[in-house]
Chain A
Amino acid sequence: MAEPRTLSEKIWESHVVKREPGQPDLLYVDLHLVHEVTSAQAFEGLRMAGRKVRRPELTVATVDHNVPTENRDKEWPDPLSIQQVAVLDKNVTDFGVMYFGVNDPRQGIVHVIGPEQGMSQPGMTIVCGDSHTSTHGAFGALAIGIGTSEVEHVLATQTLPQARPQTMSIEVTGELPAGVVAKDVTLAIIRKIGVGGGIGHVIEYRGDTIWNLSMEGRMTLCNMSIEGGARAGMVAPDDKTFAYLEGRPYSPKGKEWEAALDYWRTLPTDEGAKFDKIVTLAAAGIAPSVTWGTTPAQSVDVTDRIPDPDSFDDAGAREVGWRALTYMDLKPGTAIEDVHLDRVFIGSCTNSRIEDLRLAAAVARGYKVASSVRAIVVPGSGLVKAQAEQEGLDKIFTEAGFEWRDAGCSMCLGMNPDFLLPGERCASTSNRNFEGRQGPGGRTHLVSPEMAAAAAIEGHFVDIRNWRRN
């Protein structure tokens, strides 16, 4: 009987191209997702060395970080963004890579389109020059964020040398209370393990709470694994995974589908397999969460107050806490529900899929955005946008006073025309509340899509558990 293995160990072992003592394993890469920001210098490196893309058919590119989410057909405001996108346009042509360009209906955030197209499948190794590549782990894939030199390495060789990570089990059990969603679970986990708690580890999310999440919920959860410092995050594939994948453009068909299913069913972690680290959480203790500081670990329940950093045990945490409160212009003891907002952003690779938009729309239906708030909804892809419009979600949002935009990373990262002005305070469904992340001087509070929608309407945070739906 073979030694029991974890999901990530099985995928790792089946992708080792070369193993030599004293060296990192050379892993084969099944899918390489490419976007405009981290690829230009990599393609240039190939050109300078006279190399080509080894397997263009295992590569797909799109534009997401730079693209404006309105008035795309007009001249874009930033010539550097125009140039960066033009460089990718040229690179995909020169190197023969499939491309969902800005005018393609399938264009969108790179971590939304992989799953949507059925390209992200169980048991695969997936890489992208973006830290939120961990999203694809929701399908039981080993999905790793990489830098530009590594992008060049994968383009040239379809492999990646990687030091073997440690394994971490995060088990969440029990039924989630009403109004508590995947975003709250991930914020609770990061609050518990800290922003560096996952360094060097691949997280496998386990337990009935996780199995009961939708695929969209699992993507939200895996997406933010990197915010806990983890190399990757994943959920074992199950019937929900298979149902999501069946019939998508790049999912296997016919006999291949059957063969794939047989393989995928062998992937879940074996009984008795050992993890290097084990963390457990009870779903019952998780509440709708709001970040108050400048790291994703600095969050509290919506019913709580801004903490007093002087009460923290650790000197480092005290210093970081005070620094964060100064940046965020918040005072200890203020009730979270008394924090007023200027902007609301619903979108990003964390929360821009159809389910996220449905949840937000169900909250917004029949209400009006507060006059003090400017709120935008940015679908994760052109196809998510089309689906939402088919369901009438766009009408619900626009009638409530939300702006309804085109697909892209938008206000998650201050790299395109959507950003916060200095001092503006934003409820955001994105993944990072770092200083200046949404624009220099901008102040970010991370929340779930429902919490963001309710905050837009009230002009301040409210407990979604008390929301009266129309």
Chain B
Amino acid sequence: MEPVKKITAQAIPLNRRDVDTDQIIPAKYLKLVERTGFGRFLFDSWRKDESFVLNDPAYAQAQVLIAGPNFGCGSSREHAPWALEDYGFKAIIAPSFADIFRNNSAKIGLLLVTLRPDEVEILMTRAEEKPDSKLVVDLETQTVGIVGEDWTFHFDIDPFVRHCLLNGLDDISLTLAHADSISTFEKQRPGFLPSTVA
């Protein structure tokens, strides 16, 4: 995983709440067995509408998505963050995110920034009114601001997720460092627990 530190980029305003992962990428595109190439299917049916914000050339350079609450709800498909990342997004700002989507995004280095609804509203309005504005999303200082302006919003983030993102850590290796603890735990598991055989 590539480390994530600071993102300075244009932002796309997607002013919708409860954006579910079926909208981010419909099930018919989940049949590929690779991790890459899902960006072209991002928001597949909404993009068929010419007025959809992702079709607006004014936002062609955007790397940050601003959305309404409960972003990423529904299916656990990691294809959703894969599609967002493959399309070019590096961070998403919203008042809240669905739990599984949050975990999936952390694993692949897609930064999720949770701000208060009124703060998101300010950034959303700015992105709508001045598409050229550039946001600065800084994971080290946990702030979001606008290039050329002297104010920022602070955001909270799970400290461990922040640590892994800043350092680009693969958490399977981190866990395997605890292999002894896992083996010790396994020795005391009760015998009545189910066991399958191939």
Contacts and interface: CB of A to CB of B under 8 A. Distances in A.
Counting from the closest, the 6 A-B pairs by CB-CB distance are A149-B107, A147-B104, A147-B78, A196-B70, A80-B31, A40-B33
Interface stretch (A155-163, A212-220, A361-369): A155-163
Contacts of A59: 196
A161 B191 contact: no
A121 to B, nearest CB: 7
Interface string A318-352: 00100100000000000000000000000000000
Interface stretch (A81-89, A268-276, A278-286, A385-393): A81-89
A440 B78 CA distance: 20
Interface residues of B, number: 60
A59 B159 CA distance: 31
B31 A415 contact: yes
Given A26-B178, A98-B197, A199-B99, A432 B33 contact: no
The range of chain A's interface size is 35 or more
Interface of B: 16-18, 20, 22-23, 26-28, 30-35, 45, 68-70, 73-79, 81, 96-100, 103-104, 107-108, 158-160, 171-172, 174-176, 178-179, 181-182, 185-186, 189-198
Interface of A: 17-18, 22-24, 26, 28, 30-31, 37-38, 40-41, 44, 49, 51, 54-60, 65-66, 78, 80-81, 83-84, 87, 92, 96-99, 118-119, 121, 124, 129-131, 133, 145-150, 152-153, 156-159, 161, 163, 165, 195-196, 199-200, 226, 229, 231, 250-252, 256-257, 259-260, 263, 295, 316, 320, 323, 413-415, 432, 434-437, 440-441
A156 B192 CA distance: 23
A154 to B, nearest CB: 10
Contacts, number: 206
Contacts of A118: 194
A437 B22 contact: yes
Contacts of B35: 41, 44
Nearest to B27: A415
- Which one of B23, B76, B81, B191 has the greatest number of beta carbons of chain A within 10 Å? B76
A321 to B, nearest CB: 11
A66 B32 CA distance: 12
A196 B71 CA distance: 9
Given A196-B69, A229-B70, A153 B192 contact: no
Given A147-B104, A149-B104, A159-B175, 18 more contacts: A44-B35, A56-B196, A119-B196, A121-B194, A130-B76, A131-B75, A133-B76, A146-B100, A152-B172, A161-B171, A196-B18, A199-B99, A263-B192, A415-B27, A415-B28, A434-B23, A434-B74, A436-B26
A279 to B, nearest CB: 18
A133 to B, nearest CB: 8
B160 A24 contact: yes
Nearest to A16: B185
Contacts of B197: 57, 98
A259 B17 CA distance: 48
Given A22-B160, A124-B193, A153 B171 contact: yes
A18 B79 CA distance: 29
